[in-house]
């Protein structure tokens, strides 16, 4: 498999049918044999932050995945284009940043499809990391559902910026999917932690790659 990343397919062996019937497929981490990390940025694109993130990534030759909110893409088409021009991946984060637990199923699914018209990705991340089993099973037909194994907590304004950095460097390992936010609420923490995380792992020989839609789809076939 190209991409410089060898995937160990064994971790994705299908469970028995009766388990599949009551579960949905979600990806928390990518099994890799190399020092690779997957940075992800939720909620953008947003004026006053997305460009700074793109510049910071550029300084380290890093690629990432932006889980965009459809209405923000609509408001900021030039920023969305810049993300794509930079060679980064994009994913669907609903059109209106809906909470699956508090939204009627049909409205939730429609909102995801509406976002798809703006974003055009087969990667999906549910806002708040919450998704009902039924919604997940429906979306699995078209999307790879991407969660994470490392949460920076950058959106928590009570948290000191150095703790946000610590949340990442204490937990990340090869193949980790790390969550940051392209959201003004997270700006102070992000602007402290992101350059340091990029520097720390670059020195340790890590590369930062975008999540690859096709590769993940192969791991996550329609059920």
**Chain residues in the site for Zn ion (CB under 5 A):** 42-43, 127
What b-and-e string marks burial along 45-56, b requiring 16 or more CB atoms within 10 Å of the CB?
Answer: bbeebbeebbeb
Distance in Å, CB of 172 to Zn ion, minimum: 20
Q: What count of Cα atoms within 13 Å lies in the side-chain half-sphere of residue 32?
A: 24
Burial of 179 (0-12, 13-18, 19+ CB in 10 A): buried
The residue among 186 and 197 lying less far from Zn ion, judged by its C-beta, is 186
Is residue 28 within 8 A of residue 149, CB to CB? The reply is: yes
| Whole-angstrom Cα Rg for the chain | 17
- Which pair of structure tokens corresponds to residue 42? 């939720």
Distance in Å, CB of 155 to Zn ion, minimum: 8
Distance in Å, CB of 42 to Zn ion, minimum: 4
128 Cβ partners below 8 Å, 6+ apart?
99, 100, 101
Q: How far apart are the first and last CA of the chain?
A: 23
Distance in Å, CB of 82 to Zn ion, minimum: 20
Distance in Å, CB of 43 to Zn ion, minimum: 4
What b-and-e string marks burial along 124-144, b requiring 16 or more CB atoms within 10 Å of the CB?
Answer: bbbbeeebeeebbbbbbeebb
Whether a cis peptide bond, with omega within 30° of 0, leads into 45 is: yes
- Which pair of structure tokens corresponds to residue 138? 């429906």
The residue among 92 and 220 lying less far from Zn ion, judged by its C-beta, is 92
Instruction: Tell me, rounded to whole angstroms, the distance of Cα 53 from its chain centroid.
Output: 14
- The Cα–Cα gap between 102 and 55 comes to 36
Distance in Å, CB of 183 to Zn ion, minimum: 7
Distance in Å, CB of 125 to Zn ion, minimum: 8
The residue among 127 and 210 lying less far from Zn ion, judged by its C-beta, is 127
């Amino acid at each position: 498999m190209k991409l410089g990343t060898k995937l160990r397919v064994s971790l994705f062996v299908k469970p028995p049918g009766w388990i599949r019937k009551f579960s949905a497929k979600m990806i928390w981490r990518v099994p890799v044999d190399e020092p690779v990390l997957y940075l992800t940025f939720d909620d953008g694109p947003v004026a006053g932050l997305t460009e700074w993130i793109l510049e910071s990534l550029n300084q380290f030759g890093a690629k990432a995945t932006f889980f965009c909110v459809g209405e923000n893409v609509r408001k900021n088409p030039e920023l969305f284009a810049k993300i794509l021009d930079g060679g980064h991946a994009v994913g669907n984060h609903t059109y209106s940043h809906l909470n699956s637990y508090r939204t009627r199923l049909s409205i939730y699914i429609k909102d995801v499809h509406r976002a798809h018209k703006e974003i055009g990705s087969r990667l999906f991340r549910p806002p708040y990391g919450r998704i009902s089993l039924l919604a997940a099973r429906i979306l699995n037909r078209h999307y790879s559902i991407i969660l994470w194994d490392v949460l920076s907590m950058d959106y928590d304004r009570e948290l000191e910026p150095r703790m946000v950095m610590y949340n990442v460097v204490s937990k990340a390992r090869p193949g980790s999917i790390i969550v940051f936010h392209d959201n003004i609420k997270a700006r102070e923490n992000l602007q402290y932690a992101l350059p340091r995380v990029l520097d720390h792992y670059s020195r340790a020989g890590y590369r930062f790659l975008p999540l690859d839609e096709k590769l993940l789809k192969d791991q996550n076939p329609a059920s």
